[in-house]
């Protein structure tokens, strides 16, 4: 026989309504009666348990180590109440700031220091990238200004050098004018030396990663300066040599008027003067610089100086012995030697003038070009 399928039981359909109707059980309280009954009850005193007790009870409940009750039942088997302390509003009730904060403070300070150091490194690198090339450019500009100044000084000195050349190579120039040309010769040499010194001074060193383009751009100028400075010194040297011959030759064989006849007292006084002239001439000839342009002048002066000592003996003997003709011939011989030396000097001065004057003009033009080409 098939079993009747059970119907789904609705909530509250448990048969209690029949028992209530028969008076077997009491009907449920109304909402008003329930509220009145709850108002009549007294609330239990609040239970406060320590955190340690709650933890102990919880551990015991988990491990099953609670003791059994009087009926032999384990307390954990039923609805055992484990007291738990009320949650405090403070999330860390036992936290001690003094115990932990110094460590946290040290770690925080270290991080701030590391961050500050990183910022300083970044700033330093940025400043280096920006400022170091500017510093190189400033050094290059300062060097360029020095080069320009030295070359300008050299260029401005060349007109004075040209005037000095004219004085030294003019046979009509006085000894005073020749002597006055010395400062100009020295100034030209100084200008050339300064130019060479600046050109040979090493360029400033820089760090490996810093570009040196502004400094390297000065190398062509420095090379040109070496050439111009050497040329200025060369011209100054030519002028100095010319000055030496121009001022020395007139002082050779310096004597008073030479008589063809004289008494004993005059002859004795003249012998002293001639001896002094012989010493001076020998010294001056020995000091003449060797120069191809003045080679003939120097040779004639050397031969005349060697002849000067025996010539004096012959001339003084002719005076003492009264050989007037012989004395006159010796005077003509000395004058001829002087004239030959002066003539050779005039030729040499003309050569110097023709050689040096174009060099001065060319140096002036090249110096101006070099100034304009400085970066």
d(CA 241, CA 181): 12
Whether 259 and 340 map to the same domain: the answer is: yes
CA-based angle 160:295:186, to the nearest 5? Answer: 25
Could you tell me if residue 65 is inside a domain?
no
- Provide mean pLDDT across the span 268-277: 96
Whether 212 and 273 map to the same domain: the answer is: no
Whether 205 and 139 map to the same domain: the answer is: yes
Query: Among the listed ranges 135-139, 177-181, 207-211, 325-329, which one has the minimum average pLDDT value?
Result: 207-211
Looking at residue 109, its pLDDT comes to 77
Q: What total number of domains does the chain contain?
A: 2
Calculate what percentage of the chain has a pLDDT beyond 90.
59
pTM of the predicted protein model? 0.66
Whether 191 and 270 map to the same domain: the answer is: no
What is the residue-wise DSSP string for 164-218? Answer: HHHHHT-TT--HHHHHHTHHHHHHHHHHHHHHHHHHHSPPPP--TTS--HHHHTT
Greater confidence (205 vs 250) lies with 250
pLDDT digit string (tens) for 199-234? 999 998 876 766 888 999 999 999 999 999 999 999
Positive or negative torsion for Cα 280, 283, 285, 290: negative
The angle, 0 to 180 degrees and rounded to 10, between the axes of the packed helices 295-321 and 264-286 is 170
> C-alpha dihedral over 63, 66, 67, 71, to 10 degrees?
-100
Instruction: Pull the structure tokens for residue 254.
Output: 């310096």
Whether 238 and 135 map to the same domain: the answer is: yes
Could you tell me if residue 372 is inside a domain?
no
pLDDT digit string (tens) for 169-188? 999 999 999 999 999 999 99
Greater confidence (263 vs 108) lies with 263
Could you tell me if residue 22 is inside a domain?
no
Among 243, 270, 291, the domain-final residue is: 243
d(CA 240, CA 237): 5
Looking at residue 269, its pLDDT comes to 96
Could you tell me if residue 4 is inside a domain?
no
Could you tell me if residue 37 is inside a domain?
no
Q: Evaluate whether 147 touches 225 at the Cβ level (below 8 Å).
A: yes
Could you tell me if residue 64 is inside a domain?
no
Domain range for residue 161? 129-243
Could you tell me if residue 237 is inside a domain?
yes
pLDDT digit string (tens) for 35-62? 666 666 666 665 544 444 444 545 444 4
Whether 221 and 319 map to the same domain: the answer is: no
Q: Evaluate whether 204 touches 215 at the Cβ level (below 8 Å).
A: yes
d(CA 263, CA 183): 47
Calculate what percentage of the chain has a pLDDT beyond 70.
67
Whether 158 and 212 map to the same domain: the answer is: yes
């Amino acid at each position: 026989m098939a079993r009747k399928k059970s119907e789904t039981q609705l909530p509250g359909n448990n048969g209690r309504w029949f028992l209530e109707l028969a008076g077997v059980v009491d009907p449920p309280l109304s909402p008003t009666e329930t509220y009145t009954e709850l108002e009549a009850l007294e609330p239990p005193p609040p239970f406060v348990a320590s955190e340690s007790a709650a933890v102990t009870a919880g551990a015991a409940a988990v491990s099953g180590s609670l003791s059994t009750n009087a009926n032999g039942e384990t307390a954990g088997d039923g609805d055992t109440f484990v007291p738990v302390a009320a949650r405090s509003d403070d999330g860390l009730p036992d936290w001690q700031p003094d115990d932990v904060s110094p460590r946290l403070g040290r770690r925080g300070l270290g991080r701030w220091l590391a961050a500050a150091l990183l910022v300083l490194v970044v700033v330093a690198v940025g400043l280096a990238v920006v400022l170091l090339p500017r510093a190189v450019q400033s050094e290059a500009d300062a060097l360029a200004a020095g080069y320009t100044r030295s070359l300008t000084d050299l260029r401005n000195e060349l007109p004075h050098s040209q005037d000095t050349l004219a004085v030294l190579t003019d046979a009509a120039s006085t000894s005073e004018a020749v002597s006055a040309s010395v400062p100009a010769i020295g100034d030209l040499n100084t200008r050339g030396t300064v130019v060479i010194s600046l050109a040979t001074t090493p360029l400033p060193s820089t760090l490996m990663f810093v570009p040196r383009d502004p400094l390297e751009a000065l190398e062509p100028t420095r090379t040109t300066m070496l050439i111009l400075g050497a040329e200025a010194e060369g011209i100054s040297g030519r002028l100095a040599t010319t000055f030496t011959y121009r001022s020395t030759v007139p002082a050779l064989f310096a004597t008073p008027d030479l008589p063809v006849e004289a008494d004993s007292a005059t002859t004795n006084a003249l012998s002293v003067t001639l001896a002094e002239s012989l010493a001076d001439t020998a010294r001056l000839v020995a000091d003449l610089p060797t120069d191809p342009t003045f080679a003939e002048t120097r040779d004639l002066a050397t031969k005349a100086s060697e002849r000067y000592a025996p010539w004096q003996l012959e001339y003084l003997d002719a005076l003492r012995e009264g050989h007037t003709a012989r004395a006159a011939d010796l005077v003509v011989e000395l004058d001829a030697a002087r004239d030959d030396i002066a003539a050779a000097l005039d030729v040499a001065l003309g050569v110097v003038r023709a050689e040096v004057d174009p060099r001065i003009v060319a140096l002036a033009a090249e110096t101006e070009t070099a100034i304009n080409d400085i970066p």
